[in-house]
Structure 1
Amino acid sequence: MFSSLITSRIVATVSALLVILVGCGAGIWQLNRADQKIRLGESLQAKLQMPVLNANTDSLSLEQASERRILARGRFIEAEAIWLDNRPRPIPEGGAGGAGQSGFYLMMPLKLAGQETVLWINRGWAPRNNLNRIELPPVDTADEVLVIEGIAFAHPGRVYELGQKADVKTSPRIEQNFDLAAEVQTHGWKQMPFIVRESDLAKKDGLVRNWPSPTNGVDRHYAYAFQWFALALAGFLFWLINGFMKYRRELAVNGDRV
């Protein structure tokens, strides 16, 4: 039986082994991704219950502020805005429609009131004009001191980037990713070591802020994991059944010879 299943079927055995390894490996990776999202969601929910920080009065590091609620009072520097391209429309958990729509995140520096410090704000999402990439959507920016409420993050999220970084002298600045350290070098100003994702849903400024939960997509990861494990099982069963059928044929032939 060993010869019928393995020795005489080296190519089939190796192929089946590869299918099993790939299927199991991809399935485990999907389960790990789901677990990461669940832990991130739990961490965020726990930090949201903590007291609100104040960017104007608290001296905050990235570790202290990360995923915490923050209030900031200041005035936007509209001329230094950065539009992050290829960002999908944020859809909250349980939401539907428009999930595949591409657009921009509007990153804008906020000069904190009474200070020379700048805090970068992810003001929200706006749709892109598919016919004219550099035609930006209309967004209202008040020329006055505002109070911004949001959640602190290390960055606004990254996407795969091809080519060279955009020239900061061009206007408007449309880029793929945002780099806090690079902005310090470019402007030479003092800035907070994190960005704040604005959370005011009621503000009517032309931007969408229906930010999804970190646990969005967990069910999809479980579904993908099931598919990969099913593929691995199918590969094993196909190899095993065909091996047994070959073994039975060999027994029948040997019986005829006797």
Structure 2
Amino acid sequence: MIAIGCGAGVWQLRRAETKIALAANLAARQQMPILSANAGPWTLEEAGERRMTARGRYIPEAAIWLDNRPRPIPAGGTGNAAQAGFFVMMPFRLEGVNEVLWVNRGWAPRNNESRESLPPIETPTGLINIEGLVFAHPGKVYALGSEESDIDPNKPRIAQNFDLEREGQLHGWPQAPFILRLEEMGVADGLLREWAPLTTGVDRHYAYAFQWFALAFAGFLFWLISGLRQYWRSNVARGQGE
């Protein structure tokens, strides 16, 4: 019990340190000059976790609605984090570049009475400018089985996870090797973009670490008290035998 408690406590502290380091790296990369997707192509190593602008047109008919995504809650914000919904992944055709950029436009609530119904959102038409943060993927959730193989890539669809390479093969278009998570606030398009910082959950890791160390300490006290009692009893028995 002592070894398990100490080991689990140290593991939780390391998880917290990892999140803090990731957040520090993200903050540092955000201070770097803003990239332009239209000035690419860029690699994930060059653009990852950096701010990026893009000019082009959305392709709404090829949107992917990622299911079972919790509502984003910003640091210090309020809301129901347990509310499930969709991340709306939409391809964005760059102006003047033969490349498509996949954009995580934000979160939309799910209709629990009709899981296949998609909530109404507004999609700008024509040439627009967008800005966001570059990531390798929009995050993954546990999925039972595999995604459907017989799909029409030119129709909006619901999926559990997003496979960037697979989408490139389905559509047959050149695309950026990363996604852009939209950071625009105050846009009335039916989507939430109040993204939580990467440090979210650090306090929880510290709390778990405290619980595990407390369990280890309780195990140590139990071992110590039991040993002292046994020692005291053996001394008493030895004294009575003399």
Distance 1:172 1:166 in 2: 14
- 169, 184, 190: which one pairs with 2:152? 169
* Equivalent pair of 2:41/2:176 in contact (CA under 8 Å): no
Task: Report the Cα distance in structure 1 between the residues aligned to 2:131 and 2:37, rounded to whole angstroms.
Answer: 10
User: Partner letter of residue 225 of structure 2?
Assistant: I
Of 12, 17, 40, the residue aligned with 1:35 is: 17
**Equivalent in 230, 234, 238 of residue 250 of structure 1:** 234
Matches within 5 A, 1:152-163: 152-163=134-145
Counterpart residue number, 1:7: none
Measure the CA separation in 2 of the matches of 1:166 and 1:238. Answer: 55
Alignment of 1:96 onto 2:78:
yes
Within 5 Å, give how 1:61-210 maps onto structure 2: 61-167=43-149, 168-169=151-152, 172-210=156-194
How far, CA to CA, are the matches of 1:166 and 1:133 in structure 2? 17
* TM-score between both structures, scaled by the size of structure 2: 0.95
- Identity, in percent, stands at 57
Is the Cα contact below 8 Å between 2:60 and 2:156 reproduced in 1?
no
Deviates more, 1:167-176 or 1:132-141: 167-176
CA distance in structure 2 between the partners assigned to 1:246 and 1:192 by the alignment? 69
Superposed counterparts of 1:12-23, under 5 Å: 19-23=1-5
CA contact (8 A) 1:166 1:173 kept: no
Report the alpha carbon displacement of residue 94 of structure 1 after superposing the two structures with TM: 0.9
Alpha-carbon separation, structure 2, partners of 1:85 and 1:25: 35
Give the conservation status (yes or no) of the 8 Å contact 1:152–1:195. Answer: yes
Show the counterpart of 1:44. Answer: 26
Q: Distance in 2 between matches of 1:26 and 1:174?
A: 38
Residue 38 of structure 1 aligns to which amino acid in structure 2? I
Q: How many residues are treated as equivalent by the alignment?
A: 240
Largest Rg, 1 or 2: 1
SS at match of 1:208: coil
Contact 2:136 2:177 in 1 (8 A): yes
Q: Which runs of 5 or more structure 1 residues have no equivalent in the other structure?
A: 1-18
Question: 1:238 is aligned with what amino acid?
Answer: F
1:219 aligns with 2:203: yes
Q: CA deviation at 1:221?
A: 0.9
SS in structure 2 of the partner of residue 56 of structure 1: helix
Per-residue Cα deviation, 1:164-193 (whole angstroms, up to 9, x for no partner): 113433854211111111111111110001
**Counterpart check, 1:237 vs 2:201:** no
Task: Give the aligned partner of residue 25 of structure 1.
Answer: 7
TM-score normalized by the length of structure 1: 0.90
Could you tell me how far apart the structure 2 residues matched to 1:101 and 1:95 are?
A: 15
4+ residue runs of structure 1 moved beyond 4 angstroms? none
Deviations along 1:111-148, one digit per CA (max 9) or x if unpaired, are 11123310000000111111111111111112211111
